[in-house]
């Protein structure tokens, strides 16, 4: 998905298309230089976004493990790992791009095939997209078909679902990169060397449907049904509000026992709805642009417009961990515990209450506050 896009049956035509045009006009040179600088700055911005995303996703992954949520929400952990891999590949690949490495021999070919063609990057990104749909289906089954989910769903099903995005997207991107990438005059032309123009158009339409439209439809269907189910349950609870005192007390006691689990489930659902909404917005420009290139529009993968839509897409991957940190309560608590002052704040409240009961509130409170300030 890099370099100038074209469909061609012969590599000689690629060389002709890509050959630089000598122009003595100073205005033309200035335009070329200006375009190169804009590309360079946008690529640098993408690298910075990747670095931020790598650090943030690593922190969230740590928080998921630290809060023991990695055993309960393995698909969310899988999503986080795919996002982390995407950010790492963004940094590595775009650092290589701005280095303008001259590719020679078999080493240059493999460097083009695996990295400069963005093969591994899109393998992780598209795996993340599929995993979003899988999480939506899992949430749907747990909420809308709760009984079936408890009795029929097995761990092996979840683990098989986890492996599906990795296997499918790796196979697809490898096949695509091998058949449509080439090194010409030391420059990598990744996923743009097509032998058949019709095949290129078909692929563009298929890619848009598979990695955006269908995934978005699955997400919308699942979360709409989830919200309808939650509202229906709220109405049923409201209808039973006139029950007897004993029944209400029993129901309250049972509800209080179920609060932690239900709160976490609610937090997961809200978090994933927000992430999916962001996915729909952030990935639309890139998918439309890629579709237009493949159907023959006068666009290339070396224009500022392409880098702009790609930057928005990569920004989504970097923003995801911040949504987890704000909306997903277990992750939020685990990250807050990394702050030294926050660590000592919770014990302070307990010590203060105990000290007041024994008549020594002033001294105990002062001591814990000193610990928090580090003096």
Q: What is the 3-state secondary structure (H, E, C) of the chain?
A: CCECCEECCCHHHHHHHHCCCCCCCHHHHHHHHHHHHHHHHHHHHHHHHHHHHHHHHHHHHHHHHHCCCCCCCHHHHHHHHHHHHHHHHHHHHHHHHHHCCCCCHHHHHHHHHHHHCCHHHHHHHHHHHHHHHHHHHHHHHHHHCHHHHHHHCCHHHHHHHHHHHHHHHHHHHHHHHHHHCEEECCEEECCCEECCHHHHHHHHHHHHHHHHHHHHHHHHHHHHHHHHHHHHHHHHHHHHHHCCHHHHHHHHHHHHHHHHHHHHHHHHHHHHHHHHHHHHHHCHHHHHHHHHHHCCCCCCECCHHHHHHHHHHHHHHHHHHHHHHHHCHHHHHHHHCCCHHHHHHHHHHHHHHHHHHHCCHHHHHHHHHHHHHCC
Of 280 and 267, which is predicted with more confidence? 280
Which carries the bigger pLDDT value, residue 248 or residue 10?
248
Between 271 and 248, residue with greater pLDDT:
271
Over residues 227-240, mean pLDDT: 79
Give the model's pLDDT for residue 258: 44
- CATH number of the domain at 6-241+260-329, please? 1.20.1070.10
* Confidence grade of residue 240 (pLDDT, cut at 50, 70, 90): low
Tell me the C-alpha to C-alpha distance, in Å, between residue 162 and each of 75, 158, 279: 6, 6, 19
In 3D space, the residue among 317, 331, 230 whose CA is nearest the CA of residue 282 turns out to be 317
Average pLDDT of the segment spanning 179-189: 90
Quick one: pLDDT at residue 260?
52
Is the confidence at residue 55, as pLDDT, over 50? Answer: yes
pLDDT score, position 1: 60
Which percentage of the chain shows pLDDT scores above 70?
Answer: 75
> Which segments of the chain belong to CATH 1.20.1070.10?
6-241+260-329
3: phi then psi, degrees, rounded to nearest 5:
65, 175
Instruction: Encode 25-61: b = buried (16+ Cβ within 10 Å), e = exposed.
Output: eeeeeeeeeeeeeebeebbebbbebbebbbebbebbb
Report residue 349's pLDDT band, with 50, 70 and 90 as the boundaries.
very low
108-129: b (≥16 Cβ within 10 Å) or e: beebbbbbbbbbbbbbbbbbbb
Q: 97-106, 241-250, 305-314: lowest mean pLDDT where? A: 241-250
Which residue would you say has higher pLDDT here, 197 or 346? 197
- The 10s digit of each residue's pLDDT in 95-126 is 999 988 888 889 999 999 999 999 999 999 99
Scanning the structure block, which residue is given the tokens 């078999």? Answer: 106
Find out whether 67 and 105 touch, Cβ atoms under 8 Å. no
Q: Note the pLDDT of residue 302.
A: 75
């Amino acid at each position: 998905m890099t370099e100038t896009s074209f469909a061609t049956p012969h590599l000689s035509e690629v060389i002709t298309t890509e050959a630089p045009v000598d122009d003595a006009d100073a205005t033309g040179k200035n335009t070329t230089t200006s375009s190169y600088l804009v590309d360079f700055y946008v690529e640098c911005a993408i690298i910075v976004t990747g670095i931020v995303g790598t650090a943030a996703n690593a922190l969230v992954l740590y928080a998921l493990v630290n809060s023991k949520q990695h055993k309960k929400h393995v698909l969310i952990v899988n999503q986080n790992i795919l996002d982390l891999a995407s950010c790492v590949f963004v940094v590595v690949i775009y650092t290589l791009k701005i280095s303008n490495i001259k590719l020679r021999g078999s080493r240059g070919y493999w460097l083009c095939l695996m990295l400069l063609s963005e093969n591994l990057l899109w393998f992780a990104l598209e795996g993340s997209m599929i995993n979003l749909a899988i999480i939506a289906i899992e949430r749907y089954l747990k909420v809308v078909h709760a009984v079936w989910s408890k009795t029929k769903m097995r761990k092996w099903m979840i683990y098989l679902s986890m492996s599906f995005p990795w296997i499918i997207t790796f196979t697809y991107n490898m096949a695509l990169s091998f058949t449509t990438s080439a090194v010409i005059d030391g420059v990598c032309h990744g996923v743009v060397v097509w032998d058949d123009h019709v095949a290129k158009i078909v692929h563009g339409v298929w890619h848009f449907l598979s990695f955006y439209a269908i995934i978005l439809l699955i997400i919308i269907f699942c979360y709409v049904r989830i919200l309808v189910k939650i509202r229906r349950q709220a109405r049923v609870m409201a209808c039973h509000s006139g029950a007897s005192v004993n029944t209400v007390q029993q129901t309250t006691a049972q509800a209080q026992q179920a609060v932690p689990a239900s709160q976490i489930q609610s937090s997961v659902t809200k978090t994933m709805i927000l992430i999916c909404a962001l996915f729909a917005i952030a990935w639309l420009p890139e998918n439309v642009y890629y579709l237009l290139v493949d159907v023959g529009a006068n666009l290339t993968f070396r224009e500022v417009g392409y880098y702009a839509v790609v930057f928005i897409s990569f920004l989504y991957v970097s923003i995801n961990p911040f949504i987890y940190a704000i909306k997903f309560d277990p992750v939020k608590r685990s990250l807050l515990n990394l702050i030294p002052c926050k660590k000592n704040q919770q014990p302070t409240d307990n010590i203060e209450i105990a000290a007041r009961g024994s008549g020594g509130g002033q001294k105990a409170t002062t001591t814990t506050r000193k610990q928090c300030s580090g003096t």
